[in-house]
Amino acid sequence: MTSVKTDLPTPDLAKTEAHAPGALLTPRLPGDLAIWFFILAELLVFAVFFIAYAFARARHVAQFNESQLTLDLNAGALNTVLLITGSWFVVLAVQAAKRDATRIATRWLAAGMACGFGFLIVKIIEYSAKFGAGISLSTNTFYMFYISLTFFHMMHVILGMVILAVLLVKTRQGAYGSHDHHALESGAAYWHMVDLVWIVLFPLVYVMR
Amino acid sequence: MNILQNPANRTWIILLIATAITWWLGESGTAGSAGSNAVFLMLGLALIKGRLVIYDFMELRHAPTLWKILLLGWLSFVLGMVVLAYWIGMK
C-alpha cells in the first residue's frame, strides 16, 4: 500500500491510460492484488461458518426455528440498510477521489464510517437485550452460532472502520486522487466484503426458516 | 434521471428494495408459512444483492474473469450449500 504525494510526477503510462475513454473495457482488478487474496481468505472462513450453521440447523430444525423467533428482525434489517448504505458512501468516496474532489471524498468516507458506528450501536443494543435475557454461547446450538457468527462479523466491521479512518486521514492529506487511488480502492474492497458477508448472514440467521 | 446514471446509485436502491422484501417475509410470517418458496426467494434475493455488491461496489464488473469467477463462485457455492442443508432439513 504505497501512496504517491500529489506534487510528484507520475510517469506511469499504464495509470494514465486507465482513465482514457473506453478504459472500462480493459479488464482491471481494483486496488492491490494482495487485498483480494486477503478478501478471498476471509470469505472462505465465513463460508465454513455459514455452511456449518446450515447443516447444524438441518439436525435441529425445531430448535433453530424456535430460537430464531427471539431475534430482533428489525435490528437485523436496520443493520443491513446501514451496511449497504455505508458501502454505497464509500463507492461515492472512491469516485470523488478519482476525479480529485478530495474534500467530497473525505466527507463520503466519514459518512461510511458513521454507518459503521450506527451498525455497532444497533448490535450492542441487540446483544445487551439477548445477554440481559440470560442467553449465552452455551444456551443452545442456535445461539452458539448466532452469537459467534455475528460477533466474528462485527470484528470485521470494526476492522473495516479502522481502515476507513486511515483512508480518511490520508485522503484529507491529498494522498489519493486521479494520480493514485490503489490503497483507497483496496480499503474500499475490504469494506464491501464486510457488506457482502452480511447480505448472506442476515437472511440465513434472522429470517430463513 | 441524472442521479440514476451512476450505477452505484441504482445498485443502492435495488439493495434497499431487496432488503425490504427479505424483512417483510420475516415480519409478516411468510418466511415460515411459505416454506421452501420463501427460502428460494430469499436465497435468490441474496444472490442478486451479492452479485450487485461484487459487480458495482467492489467494481469487479470489468475485472479479469478469474476474479469474477472466484467471488461469484463463493456466493453461489455458499447459497447452494444452504439450499442443500435446508432440503436435508425438510426430509
Closest Cα in chain A, distance from residue B15 (Å): 7
B29 sits in the region (left: phi over 0; alpha: psi -120 to 50; else beta) called left
Q: Is the pLDDT of residue B61 over 90?
A: yes
CB pair distance less than 8 Å for B81 and A51? yes
Residue A23: the pLDDT is 52
ipTM score of the complex? Answer: 0.95
What domains appear along chain A, each with residue ranges and CATH number?
Answer: 31-207 (1.20.120.80)
Range of the domain at B57: 2-90
Of B11, B42, B60, the CB nearest to A208: B42
Residue B1: the pLDDT is 57
**Neighbouring C-alpha atoms within 13 Å toward the C-beta of B54:** 26
Distance separating alpha carbons of residues B56 and A183, to the nearest angstrom:
18
Q: What would the mean pLDDT of A167-186 be, rounded to a whole number?
A: 95
| Residue A15 pLDDT grade (very low, low, confident, very high; cuts 50, 70, 90) | very low
Angle at A91 between CA A86 and CA A96, to 5 degrees: 120
Residue A9: the pLDDT is 45
Radius of gyration (C-alpha) of chain A in whole angstroms: 20
Distances (CA, A) of B73 to A35, A48, A109, B3: 18, 14, 29, 31
The three cell numbers of residue A87 are 458501502
Best-predicted range by mean pLDDT (A14-23, A25-34, A193-202)? A193-202
**Domains of chain B: total:** 1
Give the pLDDT confidence of A47-64 residue by residue, as tens digits. 999 999 999 999 999 999
Q: What would the mean pLDDT of A106-134 be, rounded to a whole number?
A: 97
User: Percent of chain A having pLDDT more than 70?
Assistant: 88
Q: Round the average pLDDT of chain A to a whole number and report it.
A: 91
Closest Cα in chain A, distance from residue B71 (Å): 8
Of A51, A65, A208, the CB nearest to B78: A51
Give the residue with greater pLDDT, A23 vs A182.
A182
The three cell numbers of residue A14 are 499504464
The CB-based long-range contact list for A108-114 (8 Å cut-off, 24+ gap) reads: A109/A164, A109/A167, A109/A168, A109/A171, A110/A168, A111/A86, A112/A86, A112/A87, A112/A164, A112/A191, A113/A86, A113/A161, A113/A164, A113/A165, A113/A168, A114/A86
CB pair distance less than 8 Å for A203 and B71? no
Q: Is the pLDDT of residue A94 over 60?
A: yes
* Single-letter residue type at A185: E
Closest Cα in chain A, distance from residue B21 (Å): 10
Give the residue with greater pLDDT, B5 vs B46.
B46
Residue B34: the pLDDT is 76
Residue B72: the pLDDT is 98
User: Percent of chain A having pLDDT more than 90?
Assistant: 87
Residue A16: the pLDDT is 43
Residue with cell 450501536: A121
Q: Round the average pLDDT of chain B to a whole number and report it.
A: 93
Residue A126: the pLDDT is 97
A58: Cβ–Cβ under 8 A, 6 or more apart, which residues?
A: B85, B86, B88, B89
